[in-house]
Chains A and B, each alone.
Chain A
Amino acid sequence: MDCHQCHQNNGSCGSKRSLRWLPFGENFNRLPIEPSGPQIALVGMPNVGKSVLFHALTGTYVTVSNYPGTTVEVTRGAMTLDDRAVSVIDTPGMYSLLPISEEERVARDLLMSEPFGAIVHVLDAKNLGRMLALTVQLLEAELPVIVAVNMMDEAQRWGLTIDREALIEKLGVPVVLMAAARNWGVDQLRETLADRLASTPAPVLAAVG
């Protein structure tokens, strides 16, 4: 991989990764991603089917690397939207924007330091209310949020229905109802992402630091 993030990865891998006597490390598995292409991130609490959605979007050609200075893994992959290569980052599970664990800190650092064209907040339809609390925090931070209400298959089986239009109106951001494990709504999410990326100017790469 050739984006600025990974140079950071190679150069300053931090204290825990300082064992440079290992000849090959986490960057052995390279992935060609257009360096200046847009990036999107998947965020959400643990157990909402985030990694299944990630693989549904990107396939299995991904890199797993440690976030600089930590043992937390961040998975990156690529997808094509409107003939454009878009890199996708699967962030570690987070409960709130105020981190407790190292994983949450990494997830938040990523959101705040990297330029994302869109941030997909994946949540579990059955626990909509509980999980919207994080959506609210992402919106307070004025991040480009798209809400992906996942696990709709289970919600349906439980006899639940969700009013998408009402949700869009309340939140003021795009909402997709889906079940990534069954490949429901994944195409719709792609379209929503494409619209979002087309309507915003390509993000300027922030200075490394």
Chain B
Amino acid sequence: MSLTIQYLEPIEVAIAQIETWWRSGWGQDFADRHLSSRSFALLLLQKDPNLWEQLPGDRQQDLEQLIATTQAQLNRPISLEIAQARQGFAQAIEQNTLAEPNPSQRRWGERIHKLTVNPISGFPILVLVLYWGVYKFVGEFGAGELVDRIETFFEGQINPVVNHVTEQVIPWPALQDLFAHDYGIITLGIRYATAIVLPVVATYFLMFSLLEDSGYLPRLSLMLDRLFKAIGLSGRAVIPIVLGLGCDTMATIVTRTLETKRERLIATFLLSLAIPCAAQWGVILGLLAQRPAALVTWAGLIVGIFLLAGFLIDKFLPGSAAQFYIELPPLRLPKIRNVITKTWVRMKWYFWEVLPLFIWASAIIWVGRLTGIFDWLISGIEPIALGLGLPKETAPILLYGFFRRDYGAAGLFDLQQGGQLTGDQLLISAVVLTLFLPCIAQLQMIIKERGVKTALLMVSFIFPFALAVGYVLNWGLNLFHIAL
């Protein structure tokens, strides 16, 4: 290799020593790696944990000693000296190869950048982007309009055919229910994945890819970093949290992009507690639209609980606060082709990721109904519903709401249409449903991403907490004779 960087003398001495060791036998343990002896030496001098743990104890001791001797001859940490030598070398190459003959015609991008990050204009822009991008496009268009159309198509064209064929092919009604009818794998599971989740996800990913390719996303993060710090997260968490307003299951996957375990845990928890998905808040908005006081109370309560829960968990969860540093690429006009490719690939990936979860949900509902476990559960939930001041018809809604987040809300809608719920009851059930267990797909994703123990812990907090909030709310409304 023609290219060799010279590091400081003590470091070069140490490299030579490790390379001697490499030739005398250390290298054999790493023969399956594509790694040069010099690279090996440099990584070990910086105590690369993966290579380190593969070394036998005596070699680790030899190295410790070598590193200590080397460090003693330097003013700054070895890794910083190495980084600086490389950076210096790289900068020198840049000076010889990159020229700036006619600097800077980046005026328009600069101006928009200033507008997006200046607090006076930046926050209104942020609100507008979220309002049009998330609320209008994903919420109203994706989760409302598109879902309605595809659902209608499924219910009118596909489900009857599936039901009919299933009834012809399978003689046993109990088994028919597994595939068809109200909760079948095809009529519920696949329909749910394609008719409800797919439009939400498609519109969301399209908007997300646009924001990403335009370079706005890191600016959104920096604007909200301070707020998110207060709830134990960093500006980076904006992405999964906003995503949660589309679909919490997807957002739970995306918490992977957060840097620390602690941050991933907090984000996952807040998503399952206080972020309603598009399918859910869409219906709740419709439900409470005629009662502005109830709507404001619902929104206020959920936002308050979101902030308070984040604040408390940040206070009591051990571990250090999230750090925030992010590169700001220049703003650019997204290339439509690239945006569409990205959206398409993500949708495909997501679809295969969640489809099995919905199929499972259908299968579980089938077993639950067949064995009578659901009836038993509903009769157990009825007194709880009564305790919250709700009619006992809301019991099945709470149970099924767990399997389909929006089903719960849709069930409430039916009750409201029948005039069976007062304003207070609507508010209480909307609050409880929002806080209630995450839907079953999200729960499966929490188990997958965070482990069974964490998932159980979260559920065992969220479940009683949601009911307690509903109970206190009912009590408070009664105490002050408030009728919304």
Q: A51 and B90: CB pair below 8 A?
A: no
Binds A, one of B41-49, B367-375, B401-409: B41-49
CB distance from A119 to the nearest CB of B (A): 9
Whole-angstrom CA separation of A71 from B5 in the bound complex: 35
Whole-angstrom CA separation of A5 from B251 in the bound complex: 28
Closest residue on chain A to residue B334 by CB atoms? A181
Binds B, one of A80-88, A160-168, A190-198: A160-168
Closest residue on chain A to residue B451 by CB atoms? A16
Q: A159 and B101: CB pair below 8 A?
A: yes
Q: B83 and A133: CB pair below 8 A?
A: yes
Q: B100 and A160: CB pair below 8 A?
A: yes
Contact with B along A109-130 (1 / 0, CB 8 A): 1011101100000000110111
Contact with B along A154-174 (1 / 0, CB 8 A): 100111111100110011100
CB distance from A136 to the nearest CB of B (A): 5
Q: A98 and B79: CB pair below 8 A?
A: yes
Chain A residues, CB < 8 A from B355: 24
Closest residue on chain B to residue A173 by CB atoms? B3
Whole-angstrom CA separation of A52 from B213 in the bound complex: 10
Q: B97 and A19: CB pair below 8 A?
A: no
Contact with A along B68-110 (1 / 0, CB 8 A): 0000000000010001001101110111111111111110000
Contact with B along A53-64 (1 / 0, CB 8 A): 001000010101
Closest residue on chain A to residue B332 by CB atoms? A154
Q: A172 and B2: CB pair below 8 A?
A: yes
Q: B43 and A98: CB pair below 8 A?
A: yes
Q: A161 and B99: CB pair below 8 A?
A: yes
**B342: interface (CB < 8 Å):** yes
Q: B33 and A129: CB pair below 8 A?
A: no
**A132: interface (CB < 8 Å):** yes
**A200: interface (CB < 8 Å):** no
Q: A139 and B1: CB pair below 8 A?
A: yes
Whole-angstrom CA separation of A51 from B87 in the bound complex: 25
Chain B residues, CB < 8 A from A112: 33-35
Q: B42 and A160: CB pair below 8 A?
A: no
Q: A159 and B105: CB pair below 8 A?
A: yes
Interface size class of B (residues with CB under 8 A): 35 or more
Chain B residues, CB < 8 A from A170: 3, 93, 96-97
Q: B94 and A140: CB pair below 8 A?
A: no
Binds A, one of B155-163, B344-352, B473-481: B344-352
Q: A207 and B1: CB pair below 8 A?
A: no
Contact with B along A95-115 (1 / 0, CB 8 A): 011110100010001011101
**A182: interface (CB < 8 Å):** yes
A132, A171, A207: most-surrounded residue (chain B CB, <10 A): A132
Q: A154 and B330: CB pair below 8 A?
A: yes
Whole-angstrom CA separation of A113 from B434 in the bound complex: 47
Q: Which of A116, A133, A159, A161 contacts B90 (CB 8 A)?
A: A133
**A209: interface (CB < 8 Å):** yes
Chosen A-B contacts, 23 in total, with CB atoms closer than 8 Å, are A19-B447, A25-B356, A28-B352, A64-B345, A97-B39, A99-B50, A111-B34, A113-B32, A129-B90, A129-B91, A129-B98, A131-B90, A135-B90, A137-B86, A140-B42, A143-B34, A157-B105, A158-B105, A160-B98, A166-B97, A171-B3, A172-B3, A181-B335
Residues of A within 8 A of B (CB): 16-17, 19, 22-26, 28-29, 46-47, 51-52, 55, 60, 62, 64, 71-73, 96-99, 101, 105, 109, 111-113, 115-116, 125-126, 128-133, 135-137, 139-143, 154, 157-163, 166-167, 170-172, 181-182, 206-207, 209
Residues of B within 8 A of A (CB): 1-3, 5, 32-36, 38-39, 42-43, 46, 48, 50, 79, 83, 86-87, 89-91, 93-106, 256, 259, 327, 329-330, 332, 335, 338, 341-342, 344-345, 348-349, 352-353, 355-356, 360, 444, 447-449, 451
15 more CB-based (< 8 A) A-B contacts, given A135-B90, A137-B39, A140-B5: A16-B449, A17-B448, A19-B447, A26-B353, A60-B341, A105-B50, A128-B94, A129-B94, A130-B90, A133-B87, A141-B36, A160-B98, A161-B101, A162-B99, A170-B97
Closest 10 CB pairs of A and B: A129-B94, A132-B90, A141-B39, A172-B2, A142-B36, A159-B102, A129-B91, A133-B90, A133-B86, A112-B33
